[in-house]
Structure 1
Amino acid sequence: MSDNNQQQEQGVETTLAAKCVRALLERHGVPRNKHSAVVTDVLGLSYSQGNRRLTTRATWELEELRTLAEHYGETLTELVSLGQHDEMEDATLVTGTTSTPCRVARGPAVHKPRLGALVLTKVDADWLVLPAEPNLATQAYDIKRLLVEPSSATSRRIAVLDDHPESAQLIVSYLKTAGFDPVAFTNLDRIAASAAAGEFDGYVLDWIIVKDSIQDTVSDLVAAIRARDAHCPIVVLTGQMRNGIADEAEIATAMAKYRLKFFEKPAPLPIISAALATSFSAA
């Protein structure tokens, strides 16, 4: 029985991680009915374990995803972005007399672009997106991805706290592609100092932070942030609910008192980004 048929018979929605892994394997030419076998071999799992990760809501470890990505010469960020992660650069979209800030992923150079097609070109030190003309004075590039948002959205600074540097960087990388200006922290004291200085417009915080083998929550940090800013979005994450380390009642109280958005890890990165964006829109 193929993975796809088994998944349909079970009627179980798979995780975003499983979808990302399937997309990775498909990009590299692995037939769908071989996906479970490949996951099993690369990760050293039993076939049952490998198949469950792809066909049920079984939890993936971050290290497993990184191992699979590196096996195929990709980064973890590329894997979780469903292969659509491109380096985005600040640019200006020029249409007539209107100039709009944007972010763009540069494609290959084009020598004879179709007249009127949007291309990317550099004028002095600035990247411009504009309709192609017959006699462009500078080299033009194809556009792989164009992101246009209100200027206020592109300037939103987001503090991301996680005591695992790779996890923090993963969130930062995705938020950059969504037009935010994120900064990673792994230390409570440092983010508290930056928050006290009013450097950020929003926060994505791991609820439990470990330092020198001592666990602490971000409850005091959240209280301090709310004392200075009653409306900024605060997204709280944790993967410690099921094992009882994170106190559900404490988190629920904080959610109600400080108007937090809460997601269990591994939280889909697009959901985190959307939670921030909708909070800013409602403000």
Structure 2
Amino acid sequence: MAERSPWPYPRWVAHRGAGKLAPENTLAAFRFGAAHGYRMFECDAKLSADGVPFLMHDATLDRTTNGRGIGGEQPWSALSQLDAGGWHSRAFAGEPLPTLENLARFCLANDYLLNIEIKPTPGTERETGEVVAREAARLWQGAAIPPLLTSFQVESLRGAAAVQPELPRGLLLDSLRKGWLEAALDLGCQAVVCNHALWDAGTVAQVHDAGMRSLSYTVNDDWAAQRLIALGTDGIITDRVDLFSPAG
């Protein structure tokens, strides 16, 4: 049984800032989540065509901005002009896409913590992992608690580990594929982040015995949260910042 290193992050993490209650991955969303008492947030980071890490989940711009096409194929000068809030509601019209640096400054100024999901445009997995990790190390230099870097993409985590091995990492999983635990260990991960339905007593014990932490996404029902707490998992990522009190 491996000894688990200290875990400085809270149990409750606000998904993309405030779940569905504000336009995801915008500073408005992180302010909204913070107003509900959340101290840690999850975001998605990818690269513009000229290498600027910015926040967006999808490969394409269409769902969450007034732009069209693949976000990673456009320069930051064009992406910065898009409306990333109007799709959600008129109250958020004009909200811009933030850079990772914008969010870092907000978090550091307010002592908030961050889980950065490395979400590469297909074909840029390694590069995105490297650039996001370097930028995270630069922005959080000297901070007491660094951001947690996670990804579904093994190559992104390999890239992050190669350039900034001291930053904590977590492997995201939507299924417990063969060799999942060995993959997390090979990547030097401190956490495994699963679809919440995948956890049971056995898988939690495997992760804990390997010296890692067990986190879950995306938990929006009270029964699911109670099950995960009873299993002894370490982190819950939720859209329902209005339902779950992070102090509870």
Normalising by structure 2, what TM-score? 0.34
Normalising by structure 1, what TM-score? 0.31
> Between Structure 1 and Structure 2, which shows a larger proportion of strand residues?
1
The higher-RCO structure (CA 8 Å, 6+ apart) is 2
> Between Structure 1 and Structure 2, which shows a larger proportion of helix residues?
1
Question: Between Structure 1 and Structure 2, whose CA radius of gyration is higher?
Answer: 1
